[in-house]
Amino acid sequence: MANLLSNMLTPEFFFSILRISAPILYATLAAIVVEKAGFANIGLEGLMMFSALFGSLFSYYTKSWFIGFLVALVVGVLMSLLMGFFAFQLETDIILVGIAINMMGSGGTLFLCKVITDNTEGKAMASTTGLITSSLCIPNISIPVIKDIPFIGGVLSGHSFLTYLAFLFCFLTSVMLYRTSLGLNIRAVGENPNAAASVGVSVLKIKYIAIAFSGLMSGFGGAFMSMSYAQGWSQDMVAGRGFIALAAQAMGGGECFGGMLSSLLFGFAQAMGIKFSSVGLDSNLASPIPYAITIISLAVFGVIRQRQAKKPRTAEGT
């Protein structure tokens, strides 16, 4: 136990929490914005899978991580707009659209990967891990001055620039929601679409913008997964982060800052799971830890919120 604790109180451990939290945070921001606009996008997982695959492929074929990164963003946005088209214009249930995207994100990406990489060395590949070298990954940044501070330098410096961007986006999303007229319209549409429509706000347009934003965030998250977190895309590599983000959104009260704290909590749980297995705990025991923490914390927050919401009717004075 002492061994484990000393293992955890290292800069590397805290560094890994931030690294693991980043893709969850992107997806959480996506979930927050669509929720504010009045619907749920459960297809974040699938969107991230597509972005991850195409990001790594384009990075390989163009020999430029930056082009791969941009493609990941574009793919995320286009796929989300497609979801919007099905859900808003063809009036399919958005949950079903999300499930479809998730299933395509799991099976479809593998299929596409095999088809597209068929010409490499004469046989199809089930992942792009062999194609992506570290030079095709999103670069890490060491921050001058901070990197030299003992401990803190080891925690904060040397991350992928997408990790820093994730936390910056947390702030920017909050500003967008609460300080711009776009954010005002998003919140109005989500809460009372009739009220928004009655003063000339286009509900359809706002919903498209919200889902495109969720696609953009998924693009960031996907690119991070295949071009920074891991070198290359592999099957089901997003591993439930898109779903955990939905939990983080709810746990964070639907707000950016709360969502960030929840993402960090999940990052912490996963980092701990990894740590446990590294000190010799059976990985079959260690790997469920993050999911157990998800369920427990959701239950706890659920109870707390219910207590707060309960207002006896008699208190209004009869």
Interface residues with other proteins (CB under 8 A) are: 175, 179-181, 183-185, 187-188, 191-192, 194-201, 313, 316-318
Residue 201 beta carbon to other proteins: minimum distance, rounded to whole angstroms:
5
- CB nearer to other proteins: give 57 or 186: 186
What minimum distance in Å lies between the beta carbon of 44 and other proteins? Answer: 24
- Rounded to a whole number of angstroms, the minimum distance from the CB of residue 204 to other proteins is 14
Residue 217: CB partners within 8 Å, gap ≥ 6? 26, 27, 29, 30, 33, 76, 169
Please say which residue, 63 or 179, places its beta carbon nearer to other proteins: 179
**Closer to other proteins by Cβ: residue 142 or 202:** 202
Token pair in block for residue 284: 């079959």
Task: Please identify, using beta-carbon distances, which residue of 39 and 60 lies nearer to other proteins.
Answer: 39
Greatest CA separation for the chain: 80
Cβ nearer to other proteins, comparing 90 with 315: 315
192 vs 283, beta carbon nearer other proteins: 192
The nearer residue to other proteins, 148 or 191, going by C-beta atoms, is 191
CA torsion angle 203 204 208 210 (round to 10)? 20
Based on CB atoms, which residue is closest to other proteins, 33 or 227?
Answer: 33
Report in angstroms how near the CB of residue 64 gets to other proteins at its nearest.
31
Minimum Å distance from CB 173 to other proteins?
14
Least CB distance from residue 200 to other proteins, whole Å?
5
Q: In angstroms, what is the minimal distance from the CB of 2 to other proteins?
A: 49
CB of 191 vs other proteins, minimal distance in Å: 5
